[in-house]
Each structure stands twice: as C-alpha cells, then as structure tokens.
C-alpha cells in the first residue's frame, strides 16, 4: 500500500514534470529546498489546460474523477479549461480475477464455480473504482457483476485527504484561489466518492428508478440480484447495447437517433419534475440503446433529490428559460434561495436578458441551448452570487442531456421538446384530483372557521359580561367597527361561495368522463361563469363602492 508521504512525492513529481512547480512552491514554500528530490521540469509548449489534463490522468483514478467533476463547474472555470477537462479518460488496467475472488466469495458464501453456472474471468469493462464481469446464474439469467478493486477505498481516502490539504493551503496563500472555493469543491468530491464506493446504495437507487419508470416499457434500469450483492459487489441484470452517442449504431439497429434523444430528454424531465429523484451522471457511457430500441441507464451511484415544494420552483425556472422571461427567472431564483444585492439587480437582469435574447432573436436551430443555460450561473458567479447545490446539479444535468441530444441529432430543439412537456406537467400538477382534493380540504377548513365565529363571539361576549375581559371602546368608533366587520363578513362569504363553485365544478369535471356534448359540461361552464361574475362584482365593490364610503 502506498503511504501518504510516498503519494505526496508522486504528486509533487507530476506537478514539477508538467511545469506547475510554482503552484507547489505556493502550497509548500519549503519545497524549493527539496527540489533535488523531484524530477526536473522539461520545456513544454502545450497549453496550461492541456498540461493540467495530462497531469491529472497521470496521477490516477482519484484525480481523473476530480477533474471530471471540475469539468461540470462551468460557472466557475474558464470555458477553455472545461473543454480540456471533458477529454479526461481513465487509463486503468484490469485487476487479475484471483485478486477479486475473495470479495466475490464473501458475498456468495461459496466458491465462484459453485455460485454461478458460468463466470467470465476477463472483465467486460474496467474503471477506477471497480470492474464488471459477465456471469450466468443457475436459472440461465445473464448478469453483470460489478466488483470493487481491492484496497481502492484506502487509496481514495489517502488521495482525498491530500486534495483537502492542498486546497486548504492554496486558499490560505493565494487570494485568487479562494474565489474558486477549492475547499468546497474538494469537500463535495469527497462526499461524492464515498457514495460511489457504496455499491449497495447504487443498487437501492436502481430499485427506486425501476419503480418510478415501471409504466415506461421503453426505459430500462437494471434489476438488482440482492442475494449476490453488497457494499463492494453488485450483481445486476445484464443489458446489451451501444452507447447512446453512437448515432450510426442506432440507425443500424433500425431506430431514429432523434427519437432516442427526445426519449432521454423526457426521461430526465420526468425524473426531475415529477419524481424529484434524478441521475446526476448522464454521460454517454452511462446510457445505452439496446437492440430492441430501449434506452437503458447504468452507473446509478450519483443521484440528487428535489423535494415536492421545490419542484414547482424548478418548473417555473425552466418555463422562464423556455419563454425568455427574465423577471420570472429572477423571481424564481430568489425563491430558491439565491440572494442578489439590490445594487447589482439591474446589471444581473441585463446580462441574463442578453443571454436569453440571443436565443430568441435568431433561428433556434443555430442556437446551442446548453450554452444559454450555462450562461446563467456564469452571470451569477461574476457578481459573487452563490447558487444552491441542487439547482446547480439540475442545470448541469440538463446541459449534459442536451449535449447528447445535439450529438444524436443536430436539429434537436430544446424549446420544442420542453414546451409540450411543461404544459402537460402544469396541468397534471395544478389541476389533478390530488391538488383539487387538497384545495377542497383548505376550503372546508375555511368554512369551518367561519361557522365557528358565532361560538367564538359568544364566548368572548360571555367573558366580557363576567368581567374576565376588560375592553375600552370609544362610542364614536362603534359604528365604524360594526360596518367594517359587516363588510369583511360579506366579502368572506362571497369569496367562499365563488371558491366552492369553482372547486365543485372542477371536481365534477375531473371525476367523471364527460363528453363535449354532455349537459354536465355545459352546466359546469355556467357555474364557472357565475363564479367569475361574483369575483368581478366583489372587485368592483372593493374598488369603487367601499372607497366612497
């Protein structure tokens, strides 16, 4: 096992090798006295961002994954650096099967040869944390078994501690580094890695997604075989297919890449806005198209949750982007906890409006909606405005899905894809039976409160008559008080009647199958008109008659 001191030496060597000795000096000024222990930097004409990428790849899996996470920080890092980090690849050699055997047999409770009818010892995929082997259960089911690399948990723990120390030190000695919140980024990365190391958590996520999409036969999530699974090994349904960004392969299967892109986009909209449970890592390697045309999702360790009350705000946010409505967008951001200083408000609005205006003023087919969405956090970051993590995750996921959509079909249109879905979900959320029942319950609570008023007044008068309450009233104000109470009561009763008519008619419509020619439909329309008339009458009375009095 590599000790922390040895690992520090390896990191320092790589930094010196790629011309980042000055950064090393800032992190540890004493390093200049120890340069004899480090490799000398060779002349390098490559760009600084390319050298950062190559250095991260050489440092191994933990640093590659950290770089991949940085690639999603488009609101904080230069676009040129983002483009280079997106090229990061993991160069890992498979672990020999015999080194994995103890892990497998600890979960099966017997030798591999007895636990499975067939086990393919050569991995079909290898990554930084684990590798995947194909196997066959005794009932003939083909499965994919994801097995964690031996000691990977200790290696990642060592690397993350080093990253935390480096980030903390750099922020102390370099004020510019504090602007990027390096310690916060490393903290987020450490938490993410702990989740990815827990395969059991990934299996539970897969079960939740399968339940949420049980009515969608064209969307697949692997079934988990828990009798052969745990925190370091996950046995799941084997799903054959090609990467989602392989447009030619999809055509060879006989399917339209644009339809696949639309299906994937709608699946993510459902995850976010309906289920409130969405996949955080939709890069092309984690999405597969099967020979039967199904879209399957893999590597489900990273997820995010959106509470029901925040989903409404996220819907408003997407609607504001689609409709280029800056005022709604700013208002929604503020409700989501984004604080914009008053002195910056107009400038922020102008910059966001410019981004949205650019997408509105030209042919939509020539606009990259991902760039439009990415510009929003960039604008906020320029004014040192903190963005909630869940909101940032949501925007990143939408941008990643849009990138896949555009790769599959250059004429994939974010605006045309979003508007019908948003109309449908607004109708579903705000005119559903569940919402109407909730409204009915609120109305009944209000009526119950009004009906209790006589008892409350009687009890109050009784307390006054027995001397329990002492009230001083000026005689001249009694008539005004009486008139005010009477007016308020009239308005409350009219409001409750109008509300009862609207809610009652709505329940009738949504609870019955009504044909367009049905008398019941015309009756409900008449009820809506009466309720609308009552509302207008109350408004006129409030604006004109009451003010004159």
Q: Which of 430, 456, 486 is the last residue of a domain?
A: 430
The residues facing 144 across adjacent strands are: 134, 236
For residue 443, pLDDT beyond 70: no
pLDDT at 484: 64
109 occurs within a structural domain: no
Percent over 90 (pLDDT), the chain: 33
Region of poorest pLDDT, from 246-255, 285-294, 413-422, 465-474: 465-474
Are 283 and 174 in the same domain? no
Collapsing DSSP states into helix, strand and coil, what is residue 237? strand
Q: Write the CB contacts of 67 (distance below 8 Å, at least 6 apart in sequence).
A: 52, 53, 56, 85, 88
Give the DSSP letter of residue 285.
Answer: G
- Asked if 267 contacts 295 with a C-beta cutoff of 8 angstroms, the reply is yes
The segment with the largest mean pLDDT, out of 161-175, 253-267, 419-433, 505-519, is: 253-267
Q: Does residue 253 or residue 544 have the better pLDDT?
A: 253
- Asked if 144 contacts 240 with a C-beta cutoff of 8 angstroms, the reply is no
216 occurs within a structural domain: no
pLDDT at 361: 46
Region of poorest pLDDT, from 159-163, 293-297, 459-463, 516-520: 516-520
Closest CA to 113 of 128, 85, 135: 135
485 occurs within a structural domain: yes
- Asked if 286 contacts 427 with a C-beta cutoff of 8 angstroms, the reply is no
Q: How far is CA 9 from CA 39, 59, 407, in A?
A: 10, 11, 41
3-state secondary structure 521-534: HHHHHHHHHHHHHH
The total domain count for the chain is 3
Closest CA to 335 of 354, 317, 322: 317
Are 395 and 542 in the same domain? no
Are 291 and 379 in the same domain? yes
Q: Does residue 513 or residue 202 have the better pLDDT?
A: 202
For residue 295, pLDDT beyond 60: yes
Region of poorest pLDDT, from 84-98, 346-360, 384-398, 477-491: 477-491
Element (H, E) at 234: strand 233-237
Q: Where are the alpha helices (DSSP H) in 290-432?
A: 308-322, 326-335, 345-361, 369-382, 389-408, 414-430
204 occurs within a structural domain: no
For residue 44, pLDDT beyond 50: yes
Question: pLDDT grade, residue 533 (50/70/90)?
Answer: confident
229 occurs within a structural domain: no
For residue 98, pLDDT beyond 60: yes
pLDDT at 71: 81
pLDDT at 88: 81
Neighbours of 70 (CB within 10 A): 21
Question: pLDDT grade, residue 362 (50/70/90)?
Answer: very low
pLDDT at 23: 61
Range of the domain at 517: 433-440+473-548
Are 478 and 423 in the same domain? no
The residues facing 125 across adjacent strands are: 132
Are 61 and 188 in the same domain? yes
Are 400 and 496 in the same domain? no
Are 263 and 353 in the same domain? yes
369 occurs within a structural domain: yes
Question: pLDDT grade, residue 463 (50/70/90)?
Answer: low
Are 183 and 279 in the same domain? no
Collapsing DSSP states into helix, strand and coil, what is residue 143? strand
370 occurs within a structural domain: yes
pLDDT at 203: 97
Neighbours of 101 (CB within 10 A): 15
Give the DSSP letter of residue 30.
Answer: G
pLDDT at 501: 63
Are 177 and 67 in the same domain? yes
For residue 431, pLDDT beyond 80: no
Average pLDDT over residues 100-104: 96
pLDDT at 480: 61
Q: Does residue 202 or residue 128 have the better pLDDT?
A: 202
Are 361 and 303 in the same domain? yes
Q: Could you report the per-residue pLDDT of 139-194, keeping only the tens digit for each?
A: 999 999 999 999 899 989 999 999 999 888 888 877 666 667 788 888 888 988 88
111 occurs within a structural domain: no
Average pLDDT over residues 410-428: 79
Q: Which residue in the block uniquely carries the two structure tokens 């096992």?
A: 1
Region of poorest pLDDT, from 232-241, 354-363, 435-444, 465-474: 435-444
- State pTM to two decimals: 0.71
For residue 549, pLDDT beyond 60: no
The values of phi and psi at residue 363, to 5°, are -60, 125
Q: Write the CB contacts of 66 (distance below 8 Å, at least 6 apart in sequence).
A: 56, 163, 186, 189
- Asked if 306 contacts 272 with a C-beta cutoff of 8 angstroms, the reply is yes
Are 512 and 373 in the same domain? no
Q: What span, in angstroms and rounded, lies between the C-alpha atoms of 501 and 443? A: 11
Are 47 and 180 in the same domain? yes
| Antiparallel, parallel or unpaired: β 303-305 and 287-289 | unpaired
Q: What span, in angstroms and rounded, lies between the C-alpha atoms of 202 and 295? A: 19
Average pLDDT of the chain to the nearest whole number: 80
pLDDT at 456: 65
Where b means 16+ CB within 10 Å and e means fewer, 238-254 reads bbebeebbbbeebeebe
For residue 357, pLDDT beyond 80: no
């Amino acid at each position: 096992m590599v000790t922390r001191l040895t690992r520090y030496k390896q990191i320092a060597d790589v930094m010196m090798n790629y011309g980042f000795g000055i950064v090393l000096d800032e992190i540890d000024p004493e390093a200049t006295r120890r340069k004899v222990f480090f490799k000398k930097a060779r002349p390098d004409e490559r760009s600084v961002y390319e050298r950062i990428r190559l250095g991260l790849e050489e440092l191994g899996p933990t640093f590659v994954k950290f770089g991949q996470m940085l690639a999603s920080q488009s609101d904080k890092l230069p676009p040129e650096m983002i483009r280079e980090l997106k090229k990061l690849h993991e160069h890992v050699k498979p672990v020999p099967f015999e080194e994995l055997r103890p892990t497998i047999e600890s979960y099966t409770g017997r030798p591999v040869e007895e636990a499975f009818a067939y086990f393919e010892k050569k991995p079909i995929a290898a990554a930084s944390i684990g590798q995947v082997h194909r196997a066959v259960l005794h009932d003939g089911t083909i499965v994919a078994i994801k097995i964690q690399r031996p000691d990977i948990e200790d290696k990642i723990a060592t690397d993350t501690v080093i990253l935390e120390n480096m980030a903390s030190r750099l922020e102390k000695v370099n004020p510019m580094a504090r602007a990027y919140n390096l310690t916060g980024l490393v903290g987020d990365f450490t938490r993410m890695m702990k989740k990815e190391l827990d395969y059991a958590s990934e299996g539970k996520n897969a079960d939740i997604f399968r339940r949420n999409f049980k009515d969608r036969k064209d969307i697949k999530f692997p079934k988990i075989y828990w009798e052969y699974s745990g925190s370091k090994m996950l046995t799941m349904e084997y799903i054959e297919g090609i990467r989602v960004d392989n447009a030619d392969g999809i055509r060879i299967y006989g399917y339209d890449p644009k339809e696949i892109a639309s299906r994937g986009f709608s699946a993510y909209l459902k995850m976010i806005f309906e289920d409130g449970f969405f996949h955080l890592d939709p890069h092309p390697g984690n999405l597969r198209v099967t020979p039967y045309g199904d879209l399957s999702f893999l590597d489900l360790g990273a997820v995010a949750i959106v509470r029901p009350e925040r989903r409404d705000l996220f819907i408003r946010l997407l609607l504001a982007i689609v409709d280029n409505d800056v005022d709604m967008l700013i208002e929604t951001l503020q409700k989501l906890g984004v604080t914009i200083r008053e002195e910056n408000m107009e400038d922020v609005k102008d910059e966001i409006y410019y981004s949205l205006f650019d997408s509105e003023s030209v042919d939509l087919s020539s606009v990259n909606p991902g760039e439009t969405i990415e510009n929003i956090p960039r604008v906020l970051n320029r004014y040192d405005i903190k963005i909630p993590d869940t909101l940032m995750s949501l925007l990143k996921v939408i941008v990643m899905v849009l990138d896949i959509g555009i790769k599959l079909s250059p004429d994939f249109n974010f605006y045309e894809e979003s508007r019908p879905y948003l109309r449908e979900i607004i109708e579903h959320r705000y005119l559903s039976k569940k919402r109407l029942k909730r409204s009915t319950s609120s109305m009944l609570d209000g009526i119950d409160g009004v009906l209790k008023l006589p008892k409350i007044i009687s009890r109050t008068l009784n307390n006054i008559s027995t001397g329990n309450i002492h009230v001083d009233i000026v005689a001249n104000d009694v008539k005004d008080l009486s008139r005010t109470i009477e007016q308020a009561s009239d308005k409350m009763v009219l409001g409750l009647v109008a509300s009862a008519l609207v809610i009652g008619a709505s329940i009738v419509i949504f609870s019955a199958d009504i044909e367009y020619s049905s008398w019941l439909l015309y009756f409900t329309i008449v009820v809506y008109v009466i309720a609308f008339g009552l509302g207008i009458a109350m408004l006129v009375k409030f604006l004109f008659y009451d003010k004159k009095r």
